[in-house]
Amino acid sequence: MKRFDHWVFLSFLLLSLNLMGQDKWTLEFKPGLNFPSTDIGETSLQTGFGFELTGAYKISPQFDIYAGWGWNQFKTKKALISEESDVNETGYSFGLKFKNPFLNFVKTSYVLSAGGIYNHLEVEDRFNETLGDTGHGLGWQASVGLEYLIAENWSLRPELRYRSLSEELTFINISEKIDHRYISFGLGLAVSF
Give yes or no for a contact between 133 and 165, defined as CB atoms under 8 angstroms apart.
no
Which range of residues forms the domain containing residue 46? 23-192
pLDDT of residue 128: 80
The closest of 69, 44, 183, 49 to 120, measured between CA atoms, is 69
The burial of 115, by beta-carbon neighbours within 10 Å (0-12 exposed, 13-18 middle, 19 or more buried), is given as middle
Q: How far is CA 79 from CA 40, 73, 121, 160, 179, in A?
A: 11, 15, 16, 29, 18
DSSP letter string, 77-142: SS-SSSSSEEEEEEEEEEEEEEEEESTT-SSEEEEEEEEEEEEEEEEEETT--EEEE---EEEEEE
Residue 17 lies in a domain: no
pLDDT tens track, the chain, 193 positions:
455 566 656 655 555 544 445 679 999 999 999 999 988 777 788 999 999 999 999 999 999 999 999 999 998 876 555 556 789 999 999 999 999 998 877 789 999 999 999 999 998 887 788 888 899 999 999 999 999 999 989 999 999 999 999 999 877 777 888 899 999 999 999 999 8
The pLDDT of residue 34: 97
CATH number at residue 129: 2.40.160.20
Residue 183 lies in a domain: yes
The pLDDT value given to residue 124: 85
Tell whether 9 is covered by a domain.
no
- pLDDT number for residue 20: 46
In a domain, 2, yes or no: no
Per-residue confidence (pLDDT) for residue 13, from 0 to 100: 54
Amino acid 4: pLDDT: 56
Query: How many domains is the chain partitioned into structurally?
Result: 1
Please report how many Cα atoms fall inside a 13 Å half-sphere around the Cα of residue 42, on the Cβ side. Answer: 2
- Note whether 28 and 157 are within 8 A (CB): yes
User: What's the rounded Cα separation, in Å, for the pair 171 and 133?
Assistant: 7
